[in-house]
C-alpha cells in the first residue's frame, strides 16, 4: 500500500547535528537488534500541522541482509495487527494503513517522512534508532521500537515521541543484579568491554547493585577487545576474590574473557569457581563455552530479554509480539485521542497501556474506549505498561544456562520493574 502525499513539508532537517552524531558514535547494536550499517540521511520534511483522519504507519524493519531473520517475522506481526484492527472497524472510521520500508536501506526513511505517515514501527537496531530518531522528531512522527534496547535511548531528547515495547538495557542490568543477588555470593566484580557501550552498561549495573543490600561491589574491571591476550585482566578478576563475576561482553570478546578466567582459576580441586552472570551478548558464544571447564560452565547464569512468549501461538518469531503490540498501542492511542495527529497519539500511548480496565485485544479495548472508559491494554508480549518517558516500567527476562555443548537453555523467567 502506497503513502499518499497530500501534506506538504518544506523545512530542511539538519539531522547530523553534533548531539545526534555523538550519540550515534557512542552506540553499539544491542543483543536484541541486528548489526546494520548506519547512514545518517538528510531529508526535506516539515512538521505535521493537521491530521487527515487516516492513521498511517511505516513499518521500518529489516527485510534484507542478516537482520531479515528477525525483521521478516516482525513485519508479519505488523500485518497481523493491522488485519485485526481493520477487522474490528479500523481507527477513526477508516482502515489503518501501513507501508513497509526496509530498515537495511535507511535512506528509505526519508521517503516515509515525506508522506502522510503518522507513526513508525521500528527500527529494530539501536544504532538505526539513534541515527534516524532526529528525523522523526523533526517531522513530529512518533516511533515505537520492538527491539532497540540501547541505554542511550533512555536519555535521548525525543520530545516524548519515542516508545519501546522491549525493556531498556537499564532494566536488563537490574535483572542481572537480581540474578547476582540470588546466587547468595554477596561480593561482585564487574568485568566489561572497554568501549562506550560497555562502559554505559557497567555504570547502569553499578547503580543496580547499589539497590541490592545483599550485594557489595568489589571492583569494576574493563578489558579491551583489541588486546590479543586477556590473561592479566582475567587474573585481576580472579584476584578480587568476588563470589560473583558479572561479565558484560559480546560473543567474540566476551567469550575470550570467559576462557581467560577459566585458565586463571586455581587448579586446586577444592576451589569452587565464582558464579559468572553474563548478559545476552554471550548467549551465542556456543563454540567458546563448549571448550571451558565443566566446573566454570556450571557456574554461568545468563540473562536476556524475553524474545518469544511461550504461551502465545501467534505472531511467531523473535520479538514479533513486541512489534504486534506497537501497532495495537498506536491504534488504541489514536482512537482515544480521536485524532491521527502524531503528537495527539503520543500523548495517549501511556494512558492506554495502564491504569484502567484490563483488555487484551484491539476489539475489546476499542469497545471500552467507545464507552468512555480508561483501558489497560495487556498485549501479546505481556503487560506493556509504558511510563512517562515512553519506556516499559516492567519487562520480562529469561535466565539461561549452558549445556556441555555450549548451547543455552532457559531455566527461569523473571519480571523486573524500574524500581527493582
Distance CA 264, CA 258 (A): 10
Same fold, 18-166+319-389 and 170-307+396-417: yes
User: Radius of gyration of the chain from Cα atoms?
Assistant: 22
Q: CB within 8 A of 182, min separation 6: which ones?
A: none
The per-residue pLDDT for 116 is 84
414 exposure class (CB count in 10 Å sphere: 0-12, 13-18, 19+): middle
Q: Measuring CA to CA, which residue among 331, 328, 309 is closest to residue 320? A: 309
* Most distant CA atoms of the chain, gap in Å: 75
> 398 and 304 in contact (C-beta within 8 Å)?
yes
The per-residue pLDDT for 108 is 61
> 24 and 40 in contact (C-beta within 8 Å)?
yes
- For 208, the enclosing helix (H) or strand (E) is helix 196-210
The per-residue pLDDT for 106 is 65
Q: Record the cell numbers describing residue 332, joined without a space.
A: 488504541
The per-residue pLDDT for 420 is 44
What's the whole-model pTM score? 0.84
Could you say which architecture CATH assigns to the domain 170-307+396-417? 3-Layer(aba) Sandwich (3.40)
Q: Record the cell numbers describing residue 188, joined without a space.
A: 561482585
The per-residue pLDDT for 303 is 95
Q: Measuring CA to CA, which residue among 416, 369, 323, 290 is closest to residue 103? A: 323
pLDDT tens digit string along 311-334?
889 999 999 999 999 999 999 999
Angle between helices 18-26 and 196-210 (to 10 degrees): 80
Q: Which residues of the chain have pLDDT under 70?
A: 1-50, 106-109, 111-112, 114, 418-420
400 exposure class (CB count in 10 Å sphere: 0-12, 13-18, 19+): buried
Could you say which architecture CATH assigns to the domain 18-166+319-389? 3-Layer(aba) Sandwich (3.40)
β pairing state of 275-278 and 244-248? parallel
Q: What share of the chain is helix, strand, coil (3-state, %, to 5)?
A: 35, 20, 40
Q: Record the cell numbers describing residue 229, joined without a space.
A: 591476550
Domains of the chain, by residue range, sit at 18-166+319-389, 170-307+396-417
Distance CA 284, CA 277 (A): 15
416 exposure class (CB count in 10 Å sphere: 0-12, 13-18, 19+): buried
Amino acid at each position: 500500500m502506497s503513502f499518499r502525499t497530500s501534506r506538504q513539508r518544506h523545512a530542511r532537517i539538519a539531522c547530523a547535528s553534533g548531539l545526534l552524531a555523538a550519540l550515534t558514535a557512542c552506540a553499539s547494536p544491542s543483543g536484541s537488534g541486528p548489526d546494520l550499517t548506519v547512514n545518517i540521511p538528510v531529508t526535506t520534511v516539515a512538521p505535521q500541522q493537521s491530521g487527515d483522519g487516516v492513521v498511517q504507519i511505516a513499518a521500518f524493519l529489516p527485510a534484507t541482509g542478516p537482520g531479515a531473520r528477525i525483521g521478516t517475522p516482525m513485519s508479519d506481526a505488523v500485518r497481523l495487527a493491522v488485519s485485526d484492527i481493520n477487522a474490528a472497524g479500523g481507527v477513526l472510521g477508516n482502515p489503518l494503513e501501513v507501508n513497509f520500508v526496509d530498515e537495511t536501506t535507511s535512506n528509505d526513511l526519508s521517503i516515509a517522512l515525506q508522506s502522510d505517515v503518522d507513526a513508525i514501527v521500528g527500527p529494530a537496531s539501536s544504532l538505526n534508532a539513534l541515527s534516524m530518531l532526529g528525523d522523526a522528531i523533526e517531522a513530529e512522527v512518533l516511533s515505537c521500537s520492538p527491539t532497540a534496547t540501547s541505554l542511550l535511548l533512555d536519555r535521548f531528547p525525543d520530545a516524548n515521541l519515542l516508545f519501546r515495547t522491549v525493556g531498556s538495557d537499564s532494566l536488563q542490568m537490574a535483572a542481572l543484579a537480581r540474578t547476582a543477588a540470588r546466587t547468595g555470593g554477596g561480593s561482585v566484580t564487574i568485568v566489561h568491554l572497554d568501549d562506550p557501550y560497555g562502559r554505559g552498561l557497567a555504570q547502569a549495573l553499578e547503580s543496580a547493585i547499589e539497590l541490592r543490600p545483599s550485594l557489595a561491589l568489589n571492583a569494576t574491571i574493563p578489558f579491551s577487545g583489541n588486546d590479543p591476550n586477556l590473561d592479566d585482566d582475567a587474573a585481576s578478576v580472579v584476584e578480587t576474590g568476588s563470589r560473583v563475576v558479572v561479565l558484560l561482553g559480546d560473543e567474540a570478546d566476551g567469550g575470550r574473557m570467559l576462557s581467560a578466567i577459566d585458565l586463571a582459576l586455581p587448579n586446586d580441586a577444592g576451589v569452587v569457581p565464582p558464579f559468572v552472570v553474563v548478559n545476552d551478548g554471550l548467549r551465542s558464544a556456543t563454540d567458546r563455552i563448549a571448550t571451558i571447564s565443566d566446573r566454570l560452565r556450571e557456574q554461568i547464569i545468563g540473562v536476556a530479554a524475553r524474545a518469544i512468549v511461550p504461551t502465545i501461538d501467534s505472531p511467531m518469531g523473535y520479538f514479533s509480539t513486541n512489534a504486534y503490540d506497537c501497532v495495537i498501542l498506536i491504534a488504541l492511542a489514536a482512537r482515544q485521542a480521536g485524532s491521527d495527529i502524531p503528537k495527539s497519539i503520543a500523548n495517549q500511548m501511556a494512558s492506554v497501556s495502564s491504569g484502567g480496565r484490563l483488555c487484551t485485544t484491539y476489539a475489546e479495548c476499542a469497545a471500552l474506549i467507545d464507552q468512555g472508559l480508561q483501558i489497560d491494554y495487556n498485549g501479546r508480549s505481556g503487560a506493556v505498561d509504558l511510563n512517562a518517558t515512553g519506556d516499559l516500567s516492567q519487562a520480562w527476562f529469561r535466565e539461561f544456562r549452558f549445556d556441555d555443548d555450549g548451547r543455552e537453555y532457559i531455566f527461569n523467567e523473571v519480571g523486573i520493574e524500574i524500581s527493582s
